[in-house]
């Protein structure tokens, strides 16, 4: 919008007052919970039943732990949310550290169930932060690469088998490591427009944080006759689903997972599922025989 204002000014044309106000406010929607009115004033968006945002929860209930990369936000009712804050919600070392922190908080009784999600309109998580790998490669730090992969795998595995239920509120992109973050959840509430997959092969990598094992376990649970071949096709094909239903065809979503038509309702529904799991006498998943 700033470029549009500059063009108006360069052409000697009057800049619309609302456009100038939008630039000064940071956009027509300055935050997930605010909107720019026609008079140029920023107001809170009208509350809609069944809609929850991380920003709103943070204001109302506070934060249990946070860093520049991620936070554990109190959603109320004994439910917390692991919310990524990186660009496109990519998973870097700081995110892995917050996964570990969330596990510790849950085990200490700080919350009863965990939702993984954020207010990002386009991404659950676009995957592992490739910049981390590039930096380590440039430094010739092979041990650092192995350590990053192993730490992420251990953290994701521990969260999958935690004493409290974990629900993913997935909308938009869930790619690579972000897909693996979604798959460690005990339940997934997905927006209909879910773009999930493992594109790692395109950059010379393979899923390292449990995606291969989870894909195989899901194919076995679905009764696939050639479960290993099915899981291999999903994890090595570099394809990304065009919808939640295609993701279900690939067993990235299972029978107990939910698909929600409205992206704005995903987080609230995930919280409701987390409460239901906890109140239903939750027990950690049993080991899967592969």
In this structure, is residue 88 part of a structural domain?
yes
Task: Please say if the pLDDT value at position 48 is more than 80.
Answer: no
- What is the model's pTM? 0.85
Lowest mean pLDDT among 34-48, 88-102, 189-203: 34-48
Looking at residues 193-202, what average pLDDT do you find?
94
pLDDT tier at 47, thresholds 50, 70, 90: low
Kindly report, residue by residue over 78-114, the tens digit of the pLDDT: 999 999 999 999 999 999 999 999 999 999 999 999 9
- Looking at the structure, tell me whether residues 32 and 161 fall in a common domain: no
Which of the residue ranges 3-17, 41-55, 250-264 has the most confident prediction, judged by mean pLDDT? Answer: 250-264
pLDDT tier at 33, thresholds 50, 70, 90: confident
Kindly report, residue by residue over 155-181, the tens digit of the pLDDT: 999 999 999 999 999 999 999 999 999
- Looking at the structure, tell me whether residues 237 and 139 fall in a common domain: yes
- Looking at the structure, tell me whether residues 116 and 98 fall in a common domain: yes
Query: Domain residues for 123?
Result: 54-279
Total number of domains constituting the chain: 2
Of 151 and 290, the structure prediction assigns the larger pLDDT to: 151
- Looking at the structure, tell me whether residues 77 and 158 fall in a common domain: yes
Quick count: other Cβ atoms within 10 Å of Cβ 137?
12
pLDDT tier at 39, thresholds 50, 70, 90: confident
- Looking at the structure, tell me whether residues 146 and 245 fall in a common domain: yes
Task: State residue 113's pLDDT score.
Answer: 98
Task: State residue 187's pLDDT score.
Answer: 98
Q: What is the mean pLDDT of the chain?
A: 93
């Amino acid at each position: 919008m700033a470029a549009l204002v500059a063009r108006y000014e360069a052409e000697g044309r009057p800049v619309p007052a609302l456009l100038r106000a939008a630039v000064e406010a940071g956009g027509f929607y300055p935050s997930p919970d605010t909107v720019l009115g026609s008079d140029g004033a920023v107001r809170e968006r009208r509350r809609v039943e069944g809609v929850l945002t991380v920003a709103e929860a943070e204001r109302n209930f506070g934060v249990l732990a946070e860093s520049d990369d991620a936070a554990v936000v109190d959603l109320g009712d004994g439910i917390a949310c692991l919310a990524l804050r990186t660009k496109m919600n990519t998973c870097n070392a700081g995110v892995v550290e917050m996964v570990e922190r969330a596990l510790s908080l849950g085990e200490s009784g700080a919350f009863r169930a965990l939702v993984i999600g954020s207010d990002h309109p386009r991404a659950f998580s676009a995957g592992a932060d490739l910049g981390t790998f590039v930096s380590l490669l440039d430094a010739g730090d092979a041990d650092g690469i192995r350590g990053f992969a192993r730490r992420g795998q251990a953290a994701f595995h521990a969260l999958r088998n935690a004493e409290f239920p974990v629900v993913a509120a997935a909308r938009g992109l869930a790619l690579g490591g972000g897909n693996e973050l979604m798959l460690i959840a005990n339940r997934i509430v997905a927006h209909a427009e879910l773009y999930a997959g493992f594109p790692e092969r395109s950059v010379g990598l393979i899923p390292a944080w449990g995606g291969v094992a989870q894909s195989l376990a899901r194919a076995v649970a679905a009764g696939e006759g050639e479960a290993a071949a099915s899981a291999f096709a999903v994890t090595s094909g570099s394809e990304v689903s065009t919808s939640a239903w295609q993701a279900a065809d690939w067993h990235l979503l299972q029978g107990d997972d939910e698909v929600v038509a409205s992206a704005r309702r995903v987080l609230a529904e995930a919280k409701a599922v987390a409460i239901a799991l906890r109140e239903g006498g939750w027990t950690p998943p049993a080991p899967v025989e592969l």
